[in-house]
Amino acid sequence: MTVVVRLFAGLRERAGWSSREVEAATVADVWPALGLGDEPEGLLYAVNREYAEPGRELREGDEVALIPPVSGGAFRVTEEPLSLDAVVAEVADERAGGIATFTGTVRRQSRGREVTHLEYEAYAEMAEDVMGQIAADLLARHDLCAVAIHHRVGRVELGEASVVIAVSAPHRQAALEACREAIDTLKETVPLWKKEVYEGGEEWIGRGS
């Protein structure tokens, strides 16, 4: 089968091209067909903008995106205060025509009660991996340059940022859509839990809040 292969980031630079047709019957056949040496550990595949396992059979004309593992501090769970400037710097790219950001802050009122502060807990190692998977999915489905997500854990005071997301893209619409999808997906999938502390009580809210 002839399929279209797309490369991103370090893989694209390593190969010297971003898109090429190759012959492959399954996802597992794609990397050997590229002639780029050993397959990177943690490489993810997407077929027609959906994650795919190596054993998936391919059809004529399928698009196979190879998503390299993300390294560095682009996906971070931290007890330190968050910096919007730092997150924006991580997605800076000369190809970008726009950078969309989202900053989630602690509000005074929630569920009809007065909040004094929030406390976040996370399975940090898994949370950062899931953030990377969210970014890989967004890169496979949108025309983006980069994605960065930072989330606080521990005590977060009123008005402070609990999560900051930045997405850069050649065009603003892709950046805006991907940024919205990132926060919606993060709330549903990342192992983070939130305790709302009120005047006279407290409650664990959990994911999706």
67-81, 135-149, 161-175, range with greatest mean pLDDT = 161-175
Which of 16-25, 133-142, 170-179 bottoms out in mean pLDDT, i.e. has the lowest? Answer: 133-142
Confidence of residue 166 (pLDDT cuts 50, 70, 90): very high
| Torsion sign, CA atoms 68, 126, 50, 88 | negative
pLDDT higher than threshold 80 for residue 71: no
Cα 199 to Cα 8, 114, 154, 209: the distances in Å are: 49, 6, 19, 20
Nearest residue to 104 via CA among 22, 160, 186, 168? 160
Backbone φ, ψ for residue 126 (5° rounding): -70, -40
**Residues shown for the chain:** 209
